[in-house]
Amino acid sequence: MVTTVGTESTFEKLVQNLIILEHDAIAAYESTIQKLEDPTSKAKISEFKADHDSHVAELTRMAGTLGVSAPQEGDMKEYLTTGKIALASMVGDKTILKAMSTNEIETKMAYDQASKNTVATPEARTFFQKALADETRHKAWMDTAAES
């Protein structure tokens, strides 16, 4: 999927859309944790979910600074991200991790775009670069774990 999240023309909308994207990601992580059988993979995915929780906390802080409401849940994409996990769970852990890896593509793209978006403050762009690094690390682990 190609995402436009990260390309918004206002900083306020950029922050709100990233929060929605993060809530969608968290829902997928929660679904994955429930469906994985391997305890090591569950622990790693829980660790990655904590990164997403941290992203939401920082984005919510930014929203407060901007005086805009912070969305409290995802949008319809949540059904796509969690649906892939539900289908993959019928096959097994490696397929679940492959499905999660595809979800990370959109999040990586959004943070990459956001880190270059000139409507964001320099401080926010630095945070977006850190979040992009987190997403890159998550995807790399999922790709490796799904292949081993």
Question: Which pTM does this prediction carry?
Answer: 0.88
Q: Residue 133: what pLDDT?
A: 98
The reply to whether 6 falls in a domain is no
**For 91-104, how does the pLDDT look when each residue is reduced to its tens digit (9 = 90+)?**
567 887 888 888 89
CA contacts within 13 A on the Cβ side of 80: 11
Distance CA 52, CA 54 (A): 5
The reply to whether 1 falls in a domain is no
Query: What is the phi/psi pair of residue 76, to 5°?
Result: -65, -20
User: What total of structural domains would you count in the chain?
Assistant: 1
The reply to whether 19 falls in a domain is yes
Indicate which CATH number applies to the domain containing 108: 1.20.1260.10
Q: Residue 79: what pLDDT?
A: 43
Distance CA 93, CA 49 (A): 17
74 vs 8, higher pLDDT:
8
The reply to whether 5 falls in a domain is no
The reply to whether 113 falls in a domain is yes
**For 70-118, how does the pLDDT look when each residue is reduced to its tens digit (9 = 90+)?**
998 665 554 455 555 555 454 567 887 888 888 899 999 999 999 999 9
Distance CA 63, CA 115 (A): 17
Q: Residue 107: what pLDDT?
A: 94
Determine the structural domain holding residue 43 and report its residue range: 11-65+72-147
Structure tokens at 50: 């904590």
The reply to whether 55 falls in a domain is yes
User: Do 22 and 71 touch, CB atoms closer than 8 A?
Assistant: no
Distance CA 94, CA 27 (A): 19
Residue given tokens 């539900």 in the structure block? 86
Distance CA 73, CA 134 (A): 21
